[in-house]
Amino acid sequence: MKELKYLNKYLVKYKRLILLGTLFVVISNVFQIVPAVLVRHSLDLVSENIRVYRSFDGLAIQDNFFGVFAFGILMYAGLILLMALLRGFFLYLVRQTLIVMSRYVEFDLKNEIFAHYQALPLSFYGQEPD
């Protein structure tokens, strides 16, 4: 870990991107968990409403109940789809912030190495074997 200590200055330099990327990771993980809860609630809704639907067998209210039941299922399906889309969007933002930050660090490191090679005397290049 001592070798990586040198990179701490870049963590400070790009702390805003790191914090933003971490926030996006947390948000995308939330949108990964929420659909599981929605699926559980929708399955509970289906099982409860099937029993209620059967209890209205032969009554006119049975058709009205089916419409309300179908609307509830469609709402849950829409919410699950929305959560998947939001998770995908925030994963995109994670990649854009953290990967871009890593490219900035690479660029800075390359510039430091190049500046170091430029500062070396010409005798250094003559002494070193190929």
Would you tell me how many other CB atoms lie within 10 Å of the CB of residue 41?
13
- For residue 129, the one-letter residue type is P
What are the φ/ψ torsions at residue 58 (nearest 5 degrees)? 90, -5
d(CA 82, CA 76): 10
- Closest alpha carbon to 20 in 106, 95, 105, 108: 95
User: Would you give per-residue pLDDT tens digits along the chain (130 residues)?
Assistant: 788 888 889 889 999 999 999 999 999 999 999 999 999 999 998 888 888 877 777 777 777 777 888 888 899 999 999 999 999 999 999 999 999 999 999 999 999 999 999 998 888 878 766 5
CA 66-71-76 angle, to 5 degrees, is: 125
Size of the chain, expressed as the number of residues it contains: 130
